[in-house]
Chains A and B, each alone.
Chain A
Amino acid sequence: MSVDAATVKKIARLARIRITDDEVAGYESELNAMLGFVEQLNEVDVDGVEPMTSVTPMVLRRREDVVTDGGYPEKIVANAPLSEDNFFMVPKVVE
Protein backbone atom coordinates (compact mmCIF):
# COMPACT_ATOMS: atom_id res chain seq x y z
CA MET A 1 0.00 0.00 0.00
CA SER A 2 1.14 3.55 -0.57
CA VAL A 3 -0.13 7.05 0.06
CA ASP A 4 -0.78 9.83 -2.45
CA ALA A 5 -0.62 13.58 -1.98
CA ALA A 6 -4.27 13.85 -0.95
CA THR A 7 -3.80 11.16 1.70
CA VAL A 8 -0.69 12.88 3.04
CA LYS A 9 -2.70 16.07 3.50
CA LYS A 10 -5.49 14.14 5.18
CA ILE A 11 -3.07 12.43 7.58
CA ALA A 12 -1.44 15.75 8.45
CA ARG A 13 -4.87 17.18 9.18
CA LEU A 14 -5.75 14.20 11.43
CA ALA A 15 -2.41 14.58 13.21
CA ARG A 16 -2.98 18.33 13.60
CA ILE A 17 0.29 19.20 11.91
CA ARG A 18 0.14 21.98 9.33
CA ILE A 19 2.12 21.14 6.23
CA THR A 20 2.60 23.48 3.33
CA ASP A 21 1.90 22.48 -0.27
CA ASP A 22 5.59 22.33 -1.12
CA GLU A 23 6.21 19.94 1.79
CA VAL A 24 3.65 17.39 0.61
CA ALA A 25 5.86 15.67 -1.99
CA GLY A 26 8.69 15.18 0.53
CA TYR A 27 6.39 13.59 3.11
CA GLU A 28 4.74 11.48 0.44
CA SER A 29 8.05 9.89 -0.54
CA GLU A 30 9.24 9.48 3.08
CA LEU A 31 5.98 7.90 4.24
CA ASN A 32 5.98 5.60 1.22
CA ALA A 33 9.56 4.53 2.00
CA MET A 34 8.39 3.54 5.48
CA LEU A 35 5.28 1.79 4.19
CA GLY A 36 7.41 -0.05 1.63
CA PHE A 37 9.72 -1.20 4.42
CA VAL A 38 6.89 -2.57 6.59
CA GLU A 39 5.29 -4.32 3.60
CA GLN A 40 7.38 -7.45 4.33
CA LEU A 41 5.17 -8.15 7.36
CA ASN A 42 2.62 -9.52 4.89
CA GLU A 43 4.92 -12.54 4.39
CA VAL A 44 4.33 -13.66 7.97
CA ASP A 45 1.61 -16.23 8.66
CA VAL A 46 -0.28 -14.72 11.57
CA ASP A 47 -3.35 -16.99 11.40
CA GLY A 48 -4.56 -17.78 14.88
CA VAL A 49 -1.93 -15.59 16.54
CA GLU A 50 -3.12 -13.29 19.31
CA PRO A 51 -1.99 -9.66 18.94
CA MET A 52 0.26 -8.66 21.82
CA THR A 53 -1.42 -6.52 24.44
CA SER A 54 1.18 -6.75 27.20
CA VAL A 55 4.85 -7.53 26.76
CA THR A 56 5.22 -9.02 30.23
CA PRO A 57 2.56 -11.20 31.82
CA MET A 58 0.89 -8.81 34.23
CA VAL A 59 -2.53 -8.07 35.57
CA LEU A 60 -3.34 -4.41 35.92
CA ARG A 61 -3.46 -3.57 39.59
CA ARG A 62 -6.61 -2.22 41.17
CA ARG A 63 -6.98 0.20 44.01
CA GLU A 64 -9.71 1.88 45.99
CA ASP A 65 -11.57 4.49 43.94
CA VAL A 66 -10.48 7.42 46.05
CA VAL A 67 -8.73 10.72 45.44
CA THR A 68 -5.00 10.22 46.02
CA ASP A 69 -3.56 13.34 44.46
CA GLY A 70 -4.41 16.89 43.47
CA GLY A 71 -5.36 20.13 45.12
CA TYR A 72 -2.67 22.22 43.42
CA PRO A 73 -4.17 23.84 40.32
CA GLU A 74 -1.46 26.51 40.30
CA LYS A 75 1.15 23.81 39.69
CA ILE A 76 -0.92 22.30 36.90
CA VAL A 77 -1.06 25.57 34.98
CA ALA A 78 2.45 26.72 35.95
CA ASN A 79 3.86 25.82 32.52
CA ALA A 80 0.89 26.96 30.44
CA PRO A 81 1.65 29.51 27.72
CA LEU A 82 -1.53 31.34 28.79
CA SER A 83 -3.61 30.93 31.94
CA GLU A 84 -5.97 32.92 34.10
CA ASP A 85 -7.31 32.11 37.58
CA ASN A 86 -5.77 28.64 37.31
CA PHE A 87 -7.57 27.91 34.02
CA PHE A 88 -5.88 27.16 30.69
CA MET A 89 -6.72 29.87 28.19
CA VAL A 90 -7.49 28.92 24.57
CA PRO A 91 -8.99 30.74 21.57
CA LYS A 92 -12.78 30.91 21.65
CA VAL A 93 -14.28 27.50 20.76
CA VAL A 94 -18.01 28.13 21.28
CA GLU A 95 -19.84 31.03 19.66
Chain B
Amino acid sequence: MTELTRLSLAAARKGLDDKAFSAVELTEAYLGAIAAANPKLNAYVAVTDDQAREMAAASDERLAAGKGGPLEGIPLGIKDLFGTKGSHTQAGSHILDGFKPEYESTVTANLWRDGAVMLGKLNMDEFAMGSSNETSYYGPVINPWRGEGSNLDLVPGGSSGGSAAAVSAWLCAGATATDTGGSIRQPAAFTGTVGIKPTYGRCSRWGVVAFASSLDQAGPIARTVEDAALLMTSMSGFDPKDSTSADLAVPDFAAAVERGVKGLVIGVPREYRMDGMPEEIEALWRQGLEWLRAEGATVRDISLPHTKYALPAYYIVAPAEASSNLARYDGVKYGLRVSGKDITDMYELTRAAGFGREVKRRVMIGTYVLSAGYYDAYYVRAQKVRTLIKRDFEAVFADGVDAILTPATPSAAFGVGDEDMKADPVKMYLNDVFTVTVNMAGLPGIAVPAGKDASGLPLGLQLIGKPFDEETLFAAGRVIERSAGIDFSPKVWW
Protein backbone atom coordinates (compact mmCIF):
# COMPACT_ATOMS: atom_id res chain seq x y z
CA MET B 1 0.00 0.00 0.00
CA THR B 2 2.89 2.37 0.63
CA GLU B 3 3.31 3.06 -3.09
CA LEU B 4 0.06 5.03 -2.99
CA THR B 5 1.87 7.68 -0.99
CA ARG B 6 4.39 8.11 -3.81
CA LEU B 7 1.74 9.32 -6.26
CA SER B 8 1.61 13.01 -7.03
CA LEU B 9 -1.50 14.78 -5.82
CA ALA B 10 -2.74 15.03 -9.41
CA ALA B 11 -2.14 11.31 -10.04
CA ALA B 12 -3.82 10.34 -6.77
CA ARG B 13 -6.87 12.41 -7.65
CA LYS B 14 -7.06 10.67 -11.04
CA GLY B 15 -6.64 7.27 -9.38
CA LEU B 16 -9.62 8.02 -7.16
CA ASP B 17 -11.73 8.98 -10.17
CA ASP B 18 -10.64 5.82 -11.98
CA LYS B 19 -11.52 3.72 -8.91
CA ALA B 20 -7.97 2.34 -8.84
CA PHE B 21 -8.14 2.73 -5.04
CA SER B 22 -10.45 4.35 -2.53
CA ALA B 23 -9.99 7.51 -0.50
CA VAL B 24 -9.96 5.38 2.66
CA GLU B 25 -7.15 3.24 1.24
CA LEU B 26 -5.18 6.34 0.29
CA THR B 27 -5.63 7.88 3.74
CA GLU B 28 -4.69 4.60 5.47
CA ALA B 29 -1.51 4.46 3.40
CA TYR B 30 -0.54 7.93 4.60
CA LEU B 31 -1.48 7.23 8.23
CA GLY B 32 0.73 4.13 8.07
CA ALA B 33 3.61 6.14 6.62
CA ILE B 34 3.25 8.78 9.34
CA ALA B 35 3.20 6.18 12.13
CA ALA B 36 6.41 4.67 10.77
CA ALA B 37 8.31 7.90 10.05
CA ASN B 38 7.17 10.48 12.56
CA PRO B 39 9.19 9.20 15.55
CA LYS B 40 12.32 9.98 13.48
CA LEU B 41 11.28 13.05 11.48
CA ASN B 42 8.98 14.79 14.02
CA ALA B 43 7.03 16.46 11.19
CA TYR B 44 3.59 16.06 12.78
CA VAL B 45 2.76 17.46 16.22
CA ALA B 46 -0.73 15.91 16.13
CA VAL B 47 -2.20 13.19 13.92
CA THR B 48 -5.98 13.43 13.54
CA ASP B 49 -6.44 9.84 12.46
CA ASP B 50 -10.10 9.38 13.45
CA GLN B 51 -11.07 12.56 11.68
CA ALA B 52 -8.98 11.59 8.64
CA ARG B 53 -10.77 8.23 8.35
CA GLU B 54 -14.19 9.89 8.66
CA MET B 55 -13.35 12.51 6.06
CA ALA B 56 -11.97 9.86 3.69
CA ALA B 57 -15.11 7.71 4.08
CA ALA B 58 -17.24 10.76 3.28
CA SER B 59 -15.05 11.40 0.24
CA ASP B 60 -15.62 7.84 -0.98
CA GLU B 61 -19.37 8.42 -0.74
CA ARG B 62 -19.15 11.64 -2.73
CA LEU B 63 -16.90 9.98 -5.31
CA ALA B 64 -19.34 7.08 -5.67
CA ALA B 65 -22.15 9.58 -6.20
CA GLY B 66 -20.10 11.35 -8.87
CA LYS B 67 -19.89 14.46 -6.70
CA GLY B 68 -16.16 14.52 -5.98
CA GLY B 69 -14.59 17.97 -5.48
CA PRO B 70 -11.29 19.11 -7.03
CA LEU B 71 -9.32 17.72 -4.05
CA GLU B 72 -11.73 14.93 -3.13
CA GLY B 73 -10.07 12.29 -0.96
CA ILE B 74 -6.62 13.95 -1.04
CA PRO B 75 -4.84 13.63 2.34
CA LEU B 76 -3.16 16.85 3.44
CA GLY B 77 -1.04 18.00 6.34
CA ILE B 78 -1.89 21.36 7.93
CA LYS B 79 0.68 23.69 9.46
CA ASP B 80 0.02 24.16 13.18
CA LEU B 81 -0.53 27.88 12.54
CA PHE B 82 -3.96 27.30 10.95
CA GLY B 83 -6.95 27.20 13.27
CA THR B 84 -8.66 23.82 12.80
CA LYS B 85 -11.88 23.36 14.70
CA GLY B 86 -11.63 21.04 17.67
CA SER B 87 -8.05 19.97 17.01
CA HIS B 88 -4.55 20.88 18.15
CA THR B 89 -3.63 24.47 17.15
CA GLN B 90 -0.63 25.83 19.02
CA ALA B 91 1.60 27.56 16.47
CA GLY B 92 4.47 25.42 17.73
CA SER B 93 4.28 27.22 21.07
CA HIS B 94 3.84 26.24 24.70
CA ILE B 95 1.79 29.35 25.42
CA LEU B 96 -1.16 27.96 23.44
CA ASP B 97 -1.04 24.81 25.56
CA GLY B 98 -4.16 22.73 24.97
CA PHE B 99 -5.78 25.24 22.61
CA LYS B 100 -8.46 23.76 20.37
CA PRO B 101 -10.24 26.48 18.40
CA GLU B 102 -14.00 26.74 18.07
CA TYR B 103 -13.57 27.89 14.47
CA GLU B 104 -11.97 26.80 11.20
CA SER B 105 -9.56 29.01 9.27
CA THR B 106 -10.87 30.13 5.88
CA VAL B 107 -7.99 28.47 4.00
CA THR B 108 -8.54 25.06 5.58
CA ALA B 109 -12.33 25.41 5.24
CA ASN B 110 -11.78 25.99 1.50
CA LEU B 111 -9.73 22.79 1.30
CA TRP B 112 -12.38 20.71 3.09
CA ARG B 113 -15.07 22.28 0.87
CA ASP B 114 -13.14 20.88 -2.10
CA GLY B 115 -12.98 17.40 -0.58
CA ALA B 116 -9.50 17.25 0.99
CA VAL B 117 -8.80 15.06 4.04
CA MET B 118 -6.90 16.31 7.11
CA LEU B 119 -4.16 13.97 8.35
CA GLY B 120 -2.96 16.18 11.18
CA LYS B 121 -1.07 19.28 12.25
CA LEU B 122 2.48 19.96 11.18
CA ASN B 123 5.42 21.10 13.26
CA MET B 124 6.81 24.61 12.74
CA ASP B 125 9.06 27.22 14.30
CA GLU B 126 7.29 28.82 17.25
CA PHE B 127 4.86 31.46 15.93
CA ALA B 128 6.58 30.99 12.53
CA MET B 129 9.72 32.71 13.84
CA GLY B 130 12.70 30.80 12.56
CA SER B 131 14.45 29.36 9.51
CA SER B 132 15.32 25.89 10.76
CA ASN B 133 12.28 24.60 12.67
CA GLU B 134 14.47 24.48 15.77
CA THR B 135 12.46 27.06 17.75
CA SER B 136 9.40 24.77 17.99
CA TYR B 137 8.25 23.84 21.49
CA TYR B 138 7.85 20.33 20.02
CA GLY B 139 11.49 20.01 19.05
CA PRO B 140 13.17 20.20 15.67
CA VAL B 141 11.90 18.55 12.52
CA ILE B 142 14.52 16.41 10.80
CA ASN B 143 15.03 16.85 7.06
CA PRO B 144 14.34 13.61 5.13
CA TRP B 145 17.43 14.48 3.08
CA ARG B 146 20.95 13.63 4.17
CA GLY B 147 24.24 14.39 2.49
CA GLU B 148 25.71 11.49 0.53
CA GLY B 149 27.55 9.13 2.85
CA SER B 150 26.52 11.19 5.89
CA ASN B 151 24.13 10.40 8.71
CA LEU B 152 24.16 13.92 10.11
CA ASP B 153 20.66 15.23 10.83
CA LEU B 154 19.86 18.29 8.74
CA VAL B 155 17.22 20.96 9.32
CA PRO B 156 14.29 21.12 6.88
CA GLY B 157 14.31 24.91 6.97
CA GLY B 158 11.60 26.98 8.55
CA SER B 159 9.28 28.09 9.64
CA SER B 160 7.16 25.61 7.62
CA GLY B 161 9.69 22.83 8.30
CA GLY B 162 7.08 20.22 9.21
CA SER B 163 5.14 20.98 6.02
CA ALA B 164 8.21 20.66 3.80
CA ALA B 165 9.54 17.52 5.50
CA ALA B 166 6.13 15.79 5.45
CA VAL B 167 5.63 16.50 1.74
CA SER B 168 9.17 15.41 0.86
CA ALA B 169 8.99 12.18 2.92
CA TRP B 170 5.56 11.18 1.49
CA LEU B 171 3.73 11.78 4.79
CA CYS B 172 1.01 13.81 3.01
CA ALA B 173 0.07 14.50 -0.59
CA GLY B 174 0.51 18.23 -0.03
CA ALA B 175 0.57 20.68 2.87
CA THR B 176 -0.50 24.14 3.86
CA ALA B 177 2.23 26.51 4.94
CA THR B 178 2.71 30.22 5.61
CA ASP B 179 5.40 32.68 4.60
CA THR B 180 6.28 35.92 6.39
CA GLY B 181 9.90 36.29 5.26
CA GLY B 182 10.59 33.06 3.38
CA SER B 183 8.90 30.40 5.51
CA ILE B 184 7.39 28.55 2.54
CA ARG B 185 10.15 28.98 -0.02
CA GLN B 186 13.25 28.33 2.10
CA PRO B 187 12.02 24.98 3.52
CA ALA B 188 10.77 23.98 0.06
CA ALA B 189 14.28 24.65 -1.29
CA PHE B 190 15.87 22.65 1.57
CA THR B 191 13.70 19.57 0.91
CA GLY B 192 13.41 19.43 -2.89
CA THR B 193 9.74 20.45 -2.86
CA VAL B 194 7.76 23.21 -4.55
CA GLY B 195 6.48 26.08 -2.41
CA ILE B 196 4.65 29.23 -3.43
CA LYS B 197 3.94 32.36 -1.42
CA PRO B 198 1.03 34.01 -3.22
CA THR B 199 0.49 37.74 -3.57
CA TYR B 200 -0.48 39.41 -0.28
CA GLY B 201 -4.28 39.23 -0.14
CA ARG B 202 -4.68 36.15 -2.35
CA CYS B 203 -5.31 33.75 0.56
CA SER B 204 -7.37 34.78 3.56
CA ARG B 205 -5.49 35.24 6.82
CA TRP B 206 -8.67 34.69 8.83
CA GLY B 207 -8.23 31.98 11.45
CA VAL B 208 -4.47 31.79 10.95
CA VAL B 209 -2.41 32.63 14.04
CA ALA B 210 -0.91 36.06 13.29
CA PHE B 211 2.85 36.75 13.32
CA ALA B 212 3.35 39.93 11.23
CA SER B 213 0.04 40.80 9.66
CA SER B 214 1.32 42.99 6.81
CA LEU B 215 3.68 40.22 5.66
CA ASP B 216 1.95 36.91 6.53
CA GLN B 217 0.53 34.94 3.63
CA ALA B 218 -0.60 31.32 3.35
CA GLY B 219 0.40 29.05 0.49
CA PRO B 220 0.98 25.40 -0.38
CA ILE B 221 4.03 23.12 -0.35
CA ALA B 222 3.77 20.21 -2.78
CA ARG B 223 5.89 17.69 -4.66
CA THR B 224 5.29 19.13 -8.14
CA VAL B 225 4.46 22.51 -9.65
CA GLU B 226 1.14 21.13 -10.86
CA ASP B 227 0.24 19.89 -7.36
CA ALA B 228 1.06 23.30 -5.90
CA ALA B 229 -1.20 24.93 -8.49
CA LEU B 230 -4.08 22.58 -7.65
CA LEU B 231 -3.77 23.36 -3.94
CA MET B 232 -3.47 27.11 -4.52
CA THR B 233 -6.67 27.19 -6.55
CA SER B 234 -8.56 25.76 -3.59
CA MET B 235 -6.81 27.78 -0.87
CA SER B 236 -7.27 31.17 -2.58
CA GLY B 237 -10.24 33.48 -2.77
CA PHE B 238 -11.91 36.55 -1.40
CA ASP B 239 -12.94 36.46 2.24
CA PRO B 240 -14.98 39.29 3.75
CA LYS B 241 -13.65 38.25 7.19
CA ASP B 242 -10.11 39.37 6.26
CA SER B 243 -10.02 43.11 5.61
CA THR B 244 -6.89 42.73 3.46
CA SER B 245 -8.29 39.89 1.34
CA ALA B 246 -8.29 40.73 -2.38
CA ASP B 247 -11.70 40.74 -4.02
CA LEU B 248 -10.49 39.09 -7.22
CA ALA B 249 -11.58 36.01 -9.12
CA VAL B 250 -9.30 33.01 -8.59
CA PRO B 251 -7.80 31.73 -11.85
CA ASP B 252 -7.51 28.01 -12.56
CA PHE B 253 -3.82 27.95 -11.66
CA ALA B 254 -3.34 24.37 -12.88
CA ALA B 255 -4.40 25.48 -16.37
CA ALA B 256 -1.41 27.85 -16.45
CA VAL B 257 1.20 25.21 -15.59
CA GLU B 258 1.95 24.05 -19.15
CA ARG B 259 1.66 27.52 -20.69
CA GLY B 260 5.41 27.84 -21.27
CA VAL B 261 7.61 30.95 -21.16
CA LYS B 262 7.79 31.85 -24.86
CA GLY B 263 8.01 35.62 -25.22
CA LEU B 264 8.38 36.30 -21.48
CA VAL B 265 11.05 38.68 -20.19
CA ILE B 266 12.90 37.25 -17.19
CA GLY B 267 14.79 39.73 -15.03
CA VAL B 268 18.12 38.91 -13.34
CA PRO B 269 18.77 41.30 -10.45
CA ARG B 270 22.47 42.09 -10.06
CA GLU B 271 22.04 42.84 -6.34
CA TYR B 272 21.25 39.16 -5.66
CA ARG B 273 24.81 38.22 -6.66
CA MET B 274 26.07 38.31 -3.10
CA ASP B 275 29.69 38.33 -1.98
CA GLY B 276 30.80 34.86 -1.01
CA MET B 277 27.91 33.16 -2.78
CA PRO B 278 28.84 29.49 -3.34
CA GLU B 279 29.79 28.72 -6.94
CA GLU B 280 27.22 25.91 -7.13
CA ILE B 281 24.41 28.41 -6.39
CA GLU B 282 25.73 30.76 -9.08
CA ALA B 283 25.99 27.88 -11.55
CA LEU B 284 22.44 26.75 -10.79
CA TRP B 285 21.18 30.27 -11.33
CA ARG B 286 22.92 30.49 -14.74
CA GLN B 287 21.52 27.07 -15.62
CA GLY B 288 18.00 28.19 -14.74
CA LEU B 289 18.32 31.19 -17.04
CA GLU B 290 19.57 28.89 -19.83
CA TRP B 291 16.52 26.65 -19.44
CA LEU B 292 14.14 29.60 -19.66
CA ARG B 293 16.00 31.05 -22.65
CA ALA B 294 15.91 27.67 -24.42
CA GLU B 295 12.11 27.73 -24.18
CA GLY B 296 11.77 31.16 -25.72
CA ALA B 297 12.13 33.61 -22.83
CA THR B 298 14.33 36.70 -23.01
CA VAL B 299 16.74 37.23 -20.14
CA ARG B 300 17.43 40.79 -19.03
CA ASP B 301 19.81 42.20 -16.40
CA ILE B 302 17.93 44.40 -13.95
CA SER B 303 18.69 46.38 -10.82
CA LEU B 304 16.75 46.35 -7.53
CA PRO B 305 18.96 48.85 -5.68
CA HIS B 306 17.40 48.55 -2.21
CA THR B 307 17.70 44.76 -1.99
CA LYS B 308 20.31 44.75 0.80
CA TYR B 309 18.05 46.82 3.04
CA ALA B 310 15.10 44.43 2.88
CA LEU B 311 16.33 42.09 5.60
CA PRO B 312 17.22 44.80 8.15
CA ALA B 313 13.92 46.59 7.46
CA TYR B 314 12.13 43.27 7.92
CA TYR B 315 13.76 42.82 11.32
CA ILE B 316 12.09 46.03 12.45
CA VAL B 317 8.69 45.68 10.80
CA ALA B 318 8.10 41.99 11.58
CA PRO B 319 9.06 42.10 15.29
CA ALA B 320 7.05 45.33 15.72
CA GLU B 321 3.93 43.69 14.34
CA ALA B 322 4.67 40.51 16.30
CA SER B 323 4.99 42.38 19.60
CA SER B 324 1.52 43.76 18.99
CA ASN B 325 -0.05 40.51 17.75
CA LEU B 326 1.43 38.42 20.55
CA ALA B 327 0.14 40.77 23.25
CA ARG B 328 -3.01 38.64 23.27
CA TYR B 329 -1.21 35.72 24.96
CA ASP B 330 -1.73 36.75 28.55
CA GLY B 331 -2.92 33.64 30.36
CA VAL B 332 -6.54 34.82 30.39
CA LYS B 333 -8.33 33.83 27.19
CA TYR B 334 -6.64 30.59 26.17
CA GLY B 335 -3.64 28.39 26.64
CA LEU B 336 -1.12 28.45 29.42
CA ARG B 337 -1.55 30.35 32.68
CA VAL B 338 1.07 30.67 35.39
CA SER B 339 -0.45 32.15 38.54
CA GLY B 340 1.12 35.20 40.18
CA LYS B 341 0.56 37.48 43.12
CA ASP B 342 -1.41 39.93 40.98
CA ILE B 343 -2.51 40.23 37.36
CA THR B 344 0.71 41.81 36.08
CA ASP B 345 2.72 39.12 37.81
CA MET B 346 0.51 36.52 36.12
CA TYR B 347 1.03 38.09 32.68
CA GLU B 348 4.79 38.25 33.11
CA LEU B 349 5.20 34.74 34.48
CA THR B 350 2.86 33.24 31.89
CA ARG B 351 4.68 34.87 28.99
CA ALA B 352 8.10 33.97 30.46
CA ALA B 353 7.10 30.30 30.70
CA GLY B 354 5.07 30.15 27.50
CA PHE B 355 7.29 31.83 24.92
CA GLY B 356 10.61 30.43 23.71
CA ARG B 357 13.82 32.40 23.46
CA GLU B 358 13.48 33.47 19.80
CA VAL B 359 9.93 34.70 20.32
CA LYS B 360 10.86 36.63 23.45
CA ARG B 361 13.78 38.25 21.66
CA ARG B 362 11.57 39.37 18.78
CA VAL B 363 8.74 40.59 20.99
CA MET B 364 11.28 42.61 22.97
CA ILE B 365 12.95 44.13 19.90
CA GLY B 366 9.48 44.94 18.54
CA THR B 367 8.51 46.56 21.82
CA TYR B 368 11.69 48.63 21.74
CA VAL B 369 11.34 49.91 18.16
CA LEU B 370 7.74 50.93 18.82
CA SER B 371 8.47 52.61 22.15
CA ALA B 372 8.33 56.36 22.70
CA GLY B 373 11.39 58.11 21.30
CA TYR B 374 12.42 55.26 18.96
CA TYR B 375 9.32 54.88 16.80
CA ASP B 376 10.40 57.37 14.13
CA ALA B 377 14.06 56.34 14.10
CA TYR B 378 13.31 52.67 13.64
CA TYR B 379 9.75 51.81 12.66
CA VAL B 380 8.85 54.76 10.44
CA ARG B 381 12.25 54.64 8.74
CA ALA B 382 11.85 50.91 8.06
CA GLN B 383 8.42 51.50 6.53
CA LYS B 384 9.90 54.19 4.29
CA VAL B 385 12.62 51.79 3.16
CA ARG B 386 9.86 49.30 2.47
CA THR B 387 8.22 51.81 0.12
CA LEU B 388 11.56 52.08 -1.73
CA ILE B 389 11.89 48.28 -1.99
CA LYS B 390 8.43 48.06 -3.51
CA ARG B 391 9.21 50.89 -5.95
CA ASP B 392 12.28 48.99 -7.17
CA PHE B 393 10.05 46.10 -8.23
CA GLU B 394 7.36 48.36 -9.70
CA ALA B 395 9.95 50.05 -11.90
CA VAL B 396 11.26 46.81 -13.41
CA PHE B 397 7.77 45.40 -13.96
CA ALA B 398 6.68 48.67 -15.62
CA ASP B 399 9.73 48.29 -17.85
CA GLY B 400 8.38 45.04 -19.30
CA VAL B 401 9.86 42.38 -17.02
CA ASP B 402 7.37 39.51 -16.50
CA ALA B 403 9.15 37.60 -13.73
CA ILE B 404 12.46 37.61 -11.88
CA LEU B 405 14.74 34.61 -11.36
CA THR B 406 16.97 34.36 -8.27
CA PRO B 407 18.42 31.64 -6.05
CA ALA B 408 15.96 30.57 -3.34
CA THR B 409 18.51 30.29 -0.52
CA PRO B 410 22.21 31.08 -0.04
CA SER B 411 23.01 27.41 0.73
CA ALA B 412 21.60 23.90 0.97
CA ALA B 413 20.19 22.57 4.26
CA PHE B 414 22.54 22.83 7.25
CA GLY B 415 22.93 20.67 10.32
CA VAL B 416 20.62 20.58 13.32
CA GLY B 417 22.22 22.58 16.14
CA ASP B 418 24.63 24.44 13.82
CA GLU B 419 27.09 26.25 16.11
CA ASP B 420 27.56 29.34 13.90
CA MET B 421 23.83 29.98 13.71
CA LYS B 422 23.36 29.41 17.42
CA ALA B 423 26.05 31.91 18.31
CA ASP B 424 24.69 34.70 16.13
CA PRO B 425 20.95 35.18 15.47
CA VAL B 426 21.71 37.39 12.46
CA LYS B 427 23.44 34.44 10.70
CA MET B 428 20.20 32.49 10.87
CA TYR B 429 18.27 35.50 9.56
CA LEU B 430 20.49 35.60 6.45
CA ASN B 431 18.77 32.41 5.24
CA ASP B 432 15.93 34.65 4.09
CA VAL B 433 18.07 37.17 2.22
CA PHE B 434 16.65 36.20 -1.22
CA THR B 435 13.06 35.64 -0.12
CA VAL B 436 12.29 38.49 2.29
CA THR B 437 12.16 41.21 -0.39
CA VAL B 438 9.08 39.49 -1.82
CA ASN B 439 7.16 39.77 1.46
CA MET B 440 8.23 43.36 1.94
CA ALA B 441 6.75 44.19 -1.49
CA GLY B 442 3.70 41.91 -1.15
CA LEU B 443 4.60 40.00 -4.33
CA PRO B 444 4.18 36.32 -5.23
CA GLY B 445 7.24 34.08 -5.19
CA ILE B 446 7.72 30.39 -5.95
CA ALA B 447 10.63 28.09 -5.03
CA VAL B 448 11.22 25.18 -7.38
CA PRO B 449 13.84 22.46 -6.87
CA ALA B 450 16.37 22.81 -9.69
CA GLY B 451 19.59 21.03 -8.78
CA LYS B 452 21.75 19.47 -6.10
CA ASP B 453 24.87 20.57 -4.29
CA ALA B 454 28.14 18.62 -4.14
CA SER B 455 26.81 16.38 -1.37
CA GLY B 456 23.58 15.62 -3.22
CA LEU B 457 21.30 17.97 -1.26
CA PRO B 458 18.52 19.80 -3.10
CA LEU B 459 18.90 23.43 -4.19
CA GLY B 460 16.05 25.64 -5.33
CA LEU B 461 15.51 28.59 -7.60
CA GLN B 462 13.02 31.34 -6.88
CA LEU B 463 10.78 33.14 -9.37
CA ILE B 464 9.23 36.46 -8.31
CA GLY B 465 6.12 37.70 -10.11
CA LYS B 466 3.93 40.74 -10.55
CA PRO B 467 1.10 41.22 -8.06
CA PHE B 468 -1.62 38.60 -8.64
CA ASP B 469 0.27 37.01 -11.53
CA GLU B 470 0.98 33.65 -9.89
CA GLU B 471 0.07 32.01 -13.20
CA THR B 472 3.33 33.15 -14.79
CA LEU B 473 5.22 31.71 -11.81
CA PHE B 474 3.55 28.32 -12.24
CA ALA B 475 4.31 28.35 -15.98
CA ALA B 476 7.97 29.36 -15.55
CA GLY B 477 8.38 27.12 -12.51
CA ARG B 478 7.16 24.18 -14.56
CA VAL B 479 9.77 24.90 -17.25
CA ILE B 480 12.50 24.77 -14.59
CA GLU B 481 11.07 21.58 -13.09
CA ARG B 482 10.83 19.88 -16.49
CA SER B 483 14.22 21.10 -17.72
CA ALA B 484 15.98 19.99 -14.53
CA GLY B 485 14.35 16.57 -14.89
CA ILE B 486 15.77 15.48 -11.52
CA ASP B 487 14.06 13.00 -9.23
CA PHE B 488 13.84 14.82 -5.90
CA SER B 489 13.10 11.72 -3.82
CA PRO B 490 15.10 11.50 -0.60
CA LYS B 491 16.67 8.13 0.14
CA VAL B 492 14.58 6.50 2.87
CA TRP B 493 16.61 6.09 6.09
CA TRP B 494 13.83 6.68 8.60
Contacts and interface: CB of A to CB of B under 8 A. Distances in A.
A binds B: yes
A50 B387 contact: yes
Interface of B: 98-102, 199-201, 214-215, 240, 243-244, 246-247, 306, 308-309, 311-313, 315-316, 323, 327, 330-337, 339-349, 351-352, 355, 360-361, 363-365, 367-368, 371, 374, 377-378, 380-388, 390, 424-426, 429, 440-442, 467
Interface in A11-69: 11-19, 27, 30-31, 33-35, 37-44, 46, 49-56, 58, 60-61, 63
A15 B363 contact: yes
Contact of A16 (B215, B341, B347, B440): B347
Contacts of B380: 51
B97 to A, nearest CB: 9
Contacts of B336: 81
Given A82-B337, A91-B346, A34 B352 contact: no
Given A17-B351, A37-B312, A38-B315, A52 B363 contact: no
A55 B200 contact: yes
Contact of B381 (A13, A30, A41): A41
Interface of A: 1, 3, 7-8, 11-19, 27, 30-31, 33-35, 37-44, 46, 49-56, 58, 60-61, 63, 72, 75-76, 78-82, 88, 90-93
B426 A34 contact: yes
A38 B378 contact: yes
B178 to A, nearest CB: 16
A17 B340 CA distance: 13
A18 B352 contact: yes
B135 to A, nearest CB: 13
Given A13-B348, A51-B380, A79-B101, 12 more contacts: A17-B363, A34-B361, A41-B312, A44-B306, A49-B384, A49-B387, A55-B442, A56-B201, A61-B243, A80-B333, A90-B343, A90-B346
B356 to A, nearest CB: 11
Given A16-B330, A33-B424, A80-B334, A56 B367 contact: no
Contact of B368 (A3, A75, A92): A3
A27 to B, nearest CB: 7
B425 A30 contact: yes
B101 to A, nearest CB: 8
A79 B333 contact: yes
